[in-house]
Amino acid sequence: MNWYEKLNQYFPIEEMKSREHMELLLKEKGEIYHKDEGKYHVLMYVELEDFIFIDYLFVSKEARGKGIGHELLEKLKERGKPILLEVEPVDYEDSDTEKRQRFYKREGFKHAAAIGYRRRSLATGKVNEMEILYWTPREDSEKAIYENMKKTYNEIHTYKDVELYGEKYQSAAEVLTMKPSAKGSSHIAE
């Protein structure tokens, strides 16, 4: 099974980019969009000058609990930049959602409580809500996390969306919201 099939089997359709989208990112944005693949894992991530965004992290069932996910995150943490990611809210009918949240919490990730993420899936038309988690080596504000998420959304998630999907994704201002009274943020007018 190739890397895309592994991701596609594990992640819900609403969260998946098309194979063509991901291959285009690797080819045309290879200086910032990366794939780390091994027998038991696939890690797709964006590395910019001031932060890292984890697009997908997959560890196969037979290798879970063996420290592979921890090792992959440690390699990214060694770069000394904030690490951001989107994760499904806990769904008590899907135990994997709770396991993912627990894993990231154990790894020192915090929930960006002030940031909202709601995007309509072009594949299904359903609105998909995600939570933003982050790890930071210093005290970055949620405002900084929010700005980095907007940058990721505009540069990666919507890259050539009309060409690839036949329609445009919603704007970052429609998808990402920030509560104006959030600690460490200024009042934001979008």
pLDDT at 187 over 90: no
137 pLDDT exceeds 90?
Answer: yes
Query: For the residues of the chain, what is the DSSP string, one character each?
Result: --HHHHHHHHS-TTTPPPHHHHHHHHHHSTTTEEEEEETTEEEEEEE-SS-EEEEEEEE-GGGTTSSHHHHHHHHHHTT-S-EEEEEPPPBTTBHHHHHHHHHHHHTT-EE-TTEEEEEE-TTT--EEEEEEEEE-SS---HHHHHHHHHHHIIIIITTTHHHHHSSPPPPHHHHEEE-TT-TT------
- Give the predicted TM-score (pTM) of the model: 0.90
pLDDT of 96 strictly over 80: no
Structural domains in the chain, CATH included, are 3-178 (3.40.630.30)
Average pLDDT along the chain: 90
Average pLDDT for 84-113: 85
Residue 121 has pLDDT above 80, yes or no: yes
- pLDDT band at 181, cuts 50/70/90? low
28-49 pLDDT, tens digit each: 999 999 999 999 999 999 999 9
State the pLDDT confidence band at 95, using cuts at 50, 70 and 90. Answer: low
- pLDDT higher than threshold 60 for residue 185: no
Q: What pLDDT was estimated at residue 142? A: 94
